[in-house]
Chain A
Amino acid sequence: KNEVEQSPQNLTAQEGEFITINCSYSVGISALHWLQQHPGGGIVSLFMLSSGKKKHGRLIATINIQEKHSSLHITASHPRDSAVYICAVTTNSGGSNYKLTFGKGTLLTVNP
């Protein structure tokens, strides 16, 4: 069974700080997803990646397949970045290609 571990569970930062959230997983995957959930809001997909690095605005996601590890970075953080960030993986161990296994999420609070 694939386990997805995120760290830290909670993170508080000051506006403008560089933020890193980590995700590690235990078996081979076909893709890794980073999702964002604002309080009381729905979930939005930020990135889907299977190798290397992706960038969108102030967000950067990296993945190291050999080390089974991914990071989500936020540069020049802003209070509107406050949300729960969730890592999820699609595994390639037979069966369905559609199912995601989720980490428990990282609650980020950015103070002004």
Chain B
Amino acid sequence: DVKVTQSSRYLVKRTGEKVFLECVQDMDHENMFWYRQDPGLGLRLIYFSYDVKMKEKGDIPEGYSVSREKKERFSLILESASTNQTSMYLCASSPPWYTQYFGPGTRLTVL
């Protein structure tokens, strides 16, 4: 079974803090994704990566950065957390042209 794990299920941070969300997949997938999910807005793509050290902006990259130093690991970084970044963050991975496998999500609250 494909497994996508995320470093935390719940996270509470203060405004201005630097936040790291980590995602690890165990199936050697080329593609990895970070989404945020908000009520009424659905899933929105923040960044994705199609290879080690390669990344592309998604639909809402502002305020976020990413890092992919190893194929299995994709990190989302909030340089200076703000309250409007309170959300559910979901990581996914996939081989090319195939369905995506999602992690369990991290519910981030920024106070």
Asked if B98 and A48 sit within 8 Å, CB to CB, the answer is: yes
Asked if A99 and B42 sit within 8 Å, CB to CB, the answer is: no
Asked if B101 and A45 sit within 8 Å, CB to CB, the answer is: yes
By a CB distance below 8 angstroms, the chain B residues around A48 are 98-99
Main secondary structure of the interface of A (DSSP, over half): strand
Which of under 10, 10 to 19, 20 to 34, or 35 or more describes the interface residues of B? 20 to 34
Bound CA span A88–B96, Å: 16
Q: How far is the CB of B12 from chain A (nearest CB, A)?
A: 17
Asked if A100 and B45 sit within 8 Å, CB to CB, the answer is: yes
Q: How far is the CB of A83 from chain B (nearest CB, A)?
A: 14
Asked if A98 and B41 sit within 8 Å, CB to CB, the answer is: no
Main secondary structure of the interface of B (DSSP, over half): strand
Answer yes or no: B64 CB below 8 A from chain A CBs: no
Bound CA span A19–B98, Å: 27
Bound CA span A2–B104, Å: 27
Asked if B45 and A105 sit within 8 Å, CB to CB, the answer is: no
Interface residues of A, count at CB 8 A: 22
Asked if A42 and B96 sit within 8 Å, CB to CB, the answer is: no
By a CB distance below 8 angstroms, the chain B residues around A104 are 40-42
Asked if A96 and B56 sit within 8 Å, CB to CB, the answer is: yes
Q: How far is the CB of A75 from chain B (nearest CB, A)?
A: 23
By a CB distance below 8 angstroms, the chain A residues around B41 are 104
By a CB distance below 8 angstroms, the chain A residues around B103 are 42
Chain A residues within CB distance 8 Å of chain B: 30-31, 33, 35, 41-45, 48, 86, 88, 90, 96-100, 102-105
List 7 A-B residue pairs with CB atoms under 8 Å apart, sorted by A's residue number.
A41-B104, A42-B103, A45-B100, A98-B31, A98-B33, A98-B50, A99-B58
